[in-house]
Structure 1
Amino acid sequence: MSDDEVLTVAKFADSVKDDYSEMRWLKALYKRLQTQDGFSHSQTTVIRVARSLAASFYKLGFPKKGIFILEPFQSLENRDINSDVAFYLSNATSDENETIPEPATEDAMYEALCREEQKSLHELAKLRCFLRDTIIPYYKAKEEVVNYEPRIAIFHDVISPTSIEHLKSIASKGLTRSTVFLENTGPNGQVTITYGKQDNIRVSQTCWIRTDEYPELSRLENRIQLITGLSAEYKPVRSHSEKFQVVNYGVGGMYTAHHDYTEYKLGIISNPMDSEDISTSGDRMATWMFYMNDVKAGGATVFPEVRTRIPVAKGGAAFWYNLRPSGATDPRTLHGGCPVLVGSKWVTNKWIREEGQMDRRLCGLTEEAVEDFPKI
């Protein structure tokens, strides 16, 4: 990245009040400008970066560090630098810590998983790949278990290159900025929900595809049903699943940690923006996500609550239940899409609703009951 690009990132971090990230970018740039003989750039550029870094330290509550950065330039008798140093001296205290603690965030594990695997070698050694039986005796699904409880798996070779290109071709004509629904709690504790909101927690483009408009896609629904035992049939009214959601993530595209379940009730209209096909179809019982291309760097799907990471695998599909057998929501299915670092990422989601699954998934006798999966 060029110096100007780094400064642009730091300026954006400042605009969204992410002072810690701003400091880290500026600190890295300042270090890069330094050489054994002084600095590698013009004095004007170095002073600009030094003053910005000192201001960043001050905002984090470390004025002494700002003074330390500016001290080498005081001999220049620069009015701005001397003014900055005087200001930081007036705000410095004797009990300032030596190190700046990394801010504790809910996304810490999400970010760690995006960087690398977080399970121990002992835990990874217990995971297995096997051929899963289906209702067709001669067809077995290639299942790779990435977490046992809750069961999270990736099924390999479940969508052909032809189907992938067909989905991309349809979606490319109707991609729009992805939206989310946000919950806000007012001063009186009243919760308001904003539907269809564009927000930086999700950076991608989306297109919804109806199976009744493209009947050839019913083959993919049949394959999902064949492997999972759940009905993935799309219907104009009381649908068993949602439309195919094709999503494209460009460089930097991501979706921070979230749950897929909605807590909507079967037979009751809960979301006024839902179309007639799913308005009374209940909650999202399960998630099926096709991976439609390989990603050179980034783009993994991660589950912070269970320290699980699924790298992108073209032709495969991730699958997990969002609800327990009792029907209760499972908070452990919190997941997110990591930022794409190189290239782009194409996925197709198929959310399976409670409607139509009554005779396909056995209810648990207790709220803590677990799924009776095939033995490995």
Structure 2
Amino acid sequence: MTETKYTSLSGRVRLTKNYQSLLLLACVVIFVVLFSVFTLSGASTGSSAAQVTAPKSLYAETGPYVCEHHYTAKILVHEPLVMRIDNFLSYREADHIVELARPRFQRSPVASSNGDSVHEARTSSTAFLGKSHDDVIACVEERASMLTSFPVNHIESLQVVHYAKGQRYLPHYDYFAKSDPEAYKKYTANGGQRVITIFGYLNEISSNPPEEWIAEKEKEGANITELIAKGTGGHTFFPELKLSVYPKKGSAVLFFDMNGKGEEDPMTLHGGMPPEWGEKFGLNVWIRQREIV
């Protein structure tokens, strides 16, 4: 795996100038793969790459909120590009986003030619947060912009999702499929196609199952040791890539929904697996080809 480190220093390095060009978007991919270390801007803190460790040592968890950017990116798959971003969010930011979303949660919709509607393929709950809702949301939007080199006005309103025990989102694409022309036309009219997905993990699922879960599985005659060894669930699964990314609070998975030719990439098929116990909170950051107006 290739690791790319980012830290917060003065000055901004932009990877592209023409944000609407998917050809240059492909160049961004090549740039990330070939160059192991480069710097992005944030608050001028005098940080160094050596400071990139655990979230709680990087971001102030008390006192006035300060927008800073400290994260590392590790390439998991080169084609399509899939990256794990550690420290994409601070614990403080993650907790704040969850609390903002709690009173707004509704059954998660699925896009179709008839508009957004609920479907048994997606049983989670969703809350949308308005653009630049507050300082924290504005900072996360800025961070996503810096990470991808797309302007903030290409980013959709952030979507928070909640998966209770057993809830899931079956494998799907984040891009709008041309196989449904009406839906494609409707959802791409403002901003164009989705080109990048960032999914942030807002909490972690305890590795120790609750006693009631153990009792339930024992009644079913299941092998508890084997089930626990399989993990907590709640991970993001890419069936075509045989890749699973497990929740780690503050981290994110980033992938390109379109390839360098400007085509939707079916290899990005992915699903939100159900938590075996506990619950999962996540943050969808979707970036479009063009400005959203």
Same fold (TM over 0.5): yes
Judging changes above 3 Å, is the alpha-carbon distance between structure 1 residues 271 and 328 closer, same or farther for their aligned structure 2 residues? closer
Higher Rg of the two aligned structures = 1
DSSP 3-state at the match of 2:103: coil
Partner in structure 2 of residue 256 of structure 1: 170
Cα deviations by residue, 1:159-192 (Å, 9 ceiling, x for unpaired): 111111211111111100001135xxxxxxxxxx
Supply the distance in 1 between the matched residues of 2:183 and 2:110 (Cα, whole angstroms).
19
Cα deviations by residue, 1:322-371 (Å, 9 ceiling, x for unpaired): 011221111110111111111100001110000159xxxxxxxxxxxxxx
Larger relative contact order (C-alpha < 8 A, sep ≥ 6)? 2
Please state if 1:175 is matched with 2:105.
yes
Partner in structure 2 of residue 242 of structure 1: 156
Please state if 1:129 is matched with 2:3.
yes
TM-score (norm 1): 0.51
* RMSD of aligned alpha carbons: 2.4
Contact preservation (8 Å) 1:134, 1:141: no
Offset at residue 271 of structure 1 (A): 5.4
Partner in structure 2 of residue 166 of structure 1: 96
Partner in structure 2 of residue 218 of structure 1: 138
Contact preservation (8 Å) 2:257, 2:268: yes
Please state if 1:281 is matched with 2:172.
no
Please state if 1:327 is matched with 2:257.
no
The equivalent position to 2:281 in structure 1, one of 346, 363, 369, is 346
Offset at residue 286 of structure 1 (A): 0.4
Supply the distance in 2 between the matched residues of 1:345 and 1:269 (Cα, whole angstroms).
29
Judging changes above 3 Å, is the alpha-carbon distance between structure 1 residues 316 and 145 closer, same or farther for their aligned structure 2 residues? same
Structure 1 unaligned runs (5+)? 1-126, 183-192, 234-238, 358-376
The equivalent position to 2:116 in structure 1, one of 193, 196, 212, is 196
Contact preservation (8 Å) 1:133, 1:141: no
DSSP 3-state at the match of 1:173: helix
Cα deviations by residue, 1:39-87 (Å, 9 ceiling, x for unpaired): xxxxxxxxxxxxxxxxxxxxxxxxxxxxxxxxxxxxxxxxxxxxxxxxx
Supply the distance in 2 between the matched residues of 1:255 and 1:337 (Cα, whole angstroms).
5
Offset at residue 200 of structure 1 (A): 1.4
DSSP 3-state at the match of 1:159: coil
One-letter amino acid matched to 1:164: A
Supply the distance in 2 between the matched residues of 1:288 and 1:295 (Cα, whole angstroms).
20
Contact preservation (8 Å) 2:86, 2:251: yes
Structure 2 unaligned runs (5+)? 6-36, 42-46, 50-69, 207-231
Aligned residues: 208
Supply the distance in 2 between the matched residues of 1:166 and 1:306 (Cα, whole angstroms).
33
Judging changes above 3 Å, is the alpha-carbon distance between structure 1 residues 329 and 130 closer, same or farther for their aligned structure 2 residues? same
Partner in structure 1 of residue 239 of structure 2: 304
Offset at residue 269 of structure 1 (A): 9.7
Please state if 1:207 is matched with 2:121.
no
Judging changes above 3 Å, is the alpha-carbon distance between structure 1 residues 325 and 204 closer, same or farther for their aligned structure 2 residues? same
